[in-house]
Structure 1
Amino acid sequence: MKLSDIDALIRIHTRSDTDRIVTMINRDPFHFLNGVSVIEFEQSLDEPGRRIRDNTFVVVIGQTTVGYFSLCFVELNTHIAVDCFGTVDVEWRRRGIGTVIFNFIFKRLKDIARQDAKPIHFKHRALTRIPGEATIGANFGMKEQNTLEIFCLTNMVDQEVFLKPLGYQFRSPTLEDANVWAEIYNEAFHDNKSPESVIHEFQGASFSKNLYFLCTNEFGNPIGLLSSILRGTHARIPTIAVRREWQKRGVGKLLLSEILQRLKQSGANDVRLTVDSKNDVAKSLYNKFGFQQEYKRIHYVASFLP
């Protein structure tokens, strides 16, 4: 059955939709939230200052929820950056649902740009492992911005342990570290993460004192950070960041070595992380640890003027 033969309804998400959404996500092995719980998903909608809950929608055909998507808004000085996260149920793909979703998103963002009197820069993340995701960006006239590569490590046994330089330590972050965590993160990724967002993350169900840590130098000053999430036996490393003045001194290698040991002890069978396709230094480091490219994520962008 094609979408042209049936009616699709897009409506605002309610708490009663979350169980079905989580089931959809966990049926898709390539979704970045794969393995998420209902509690984690609900908490992700309430990140401070991002308007996510008010911009999370479900796609319904008849009595069946066939997809969902969330728009995440980041207010910047010159524009509003909007990221989109979501999925179409694996059994309903290649039926035009993505086109319906993007028509809705584009209309909504045009309206918000006019209402807020501020340009909107929208980003679509297309996974090369999911047929049609890259095509839809091109079909809507979006421009290719950059490409990220998803690396996977499956050998958790033969990992070399690197000794820390004298005085260096790893420690779990506390809420009092929110400012420095945001500072290191934003410097590394040219982002605009707020301390309030960091606190929200630290208080979330995905946070683990064992799998989030700061690296400090001999003076106790934080010089790098790492966050990881373990769901079942599958782990993901969303963030590795090192202060600019401490880069190329082996801090990233220390962070990666430490987390792989911790994940192995925690029962992880595989680990995934993401790296910019142009970051040859990072890719070389990951290859030395046994990571191999699994697939790519292409970022497409579109702008909406007031």
Structure 2
Amino acid sequence: MTESIDASVVIPTHSERRWASLRRTVTSAQHQKTAPAEIIVVVDHNPDLFERVKAEFPGVTVLENTSLRGASGNRNTGAFHSRSELIAFLDDDTVAHPTWLGNLARPFVNPAVVGAGGLIVPAWERTRPSWMPDELLWTVGVSYAGMPTSVAEIRNVWSASMMVRREAFGKVGGFRVGFGKLGDQNRPEDTELCLRISAETGGHWMYVPDSVIEHDVPLDRSTFRFFLRRCYAEGRGKVQMAGLLPRDQKLGAEQDYIRRTLPRAVARNLKAATLGRGGFHALRAATVIAAVAAAGFGGGVETISTLGESEAATR
């Protein structure tokens, strides 16, 4: 007999180009060993896709985004429609392992836990680029070296595999609409949500590595050009996010990552290269340096832009 849990799974989608992957995502949610109370697919301002999803998945709740275009409003539409105690999110290009939902819910026996996230592993369309270091796998939306290897408290998780208490989510008004992934913008709306919920409720987030999903990494996201653009966007996004946070809430995790994790990655790969363990290690060391430069440049551009806007507003 399948167990069940008072949790709704929300899956945002926006394009017919992801139809095949959306079907895989919904199927994986339907085949959880711990069954959700409801599966909700939210279509982002695409009437034709909305009708197609309704016809394809009769046992699934299908909604149209009632908010602004973008992932944040799309997720909010599904979350605020749900009535479950827990709200889980999956992206439409992921596949959840059968124990994903049940394992992700375990930490919530502690009332101090407001949310949790799981391990995200890459599903490369071809092969992983040889120049990609483990520490920078976050650029393709998956878990990276330096994250906990067992259940542990963590500052923030990713919305591709997230569970949150409905009460806490509603208390802060959900994801910040207009701050997220839309067009060429790539702002960390999930990190911002986690920080805002923690600040508002005093609760904490947990990382659950045995709650596993696979995340598609298409060819166009396996290029060095995409990688640099992603790092640049992250630099800009973190500056934008810092401007939204209370003054006493610092981005300590980012600072520790830059000061400790990345220098260790450079040193480890350079050592491996000098010991003859493969020339790709030298490429990975160089990639880390390029990533820091691109993110720093993006942060600088955003800082200058923000200062310019502030000066213009005071004139």
Q: TM-score, normalised by structure 1?
A: 0.25
- Greater length-normalized contact order (CA 8 Å, ≥ 6 residues apart): 1
Q: Which is richer in helix?
A: 2
Q: Which is richer in strand?
A: 1
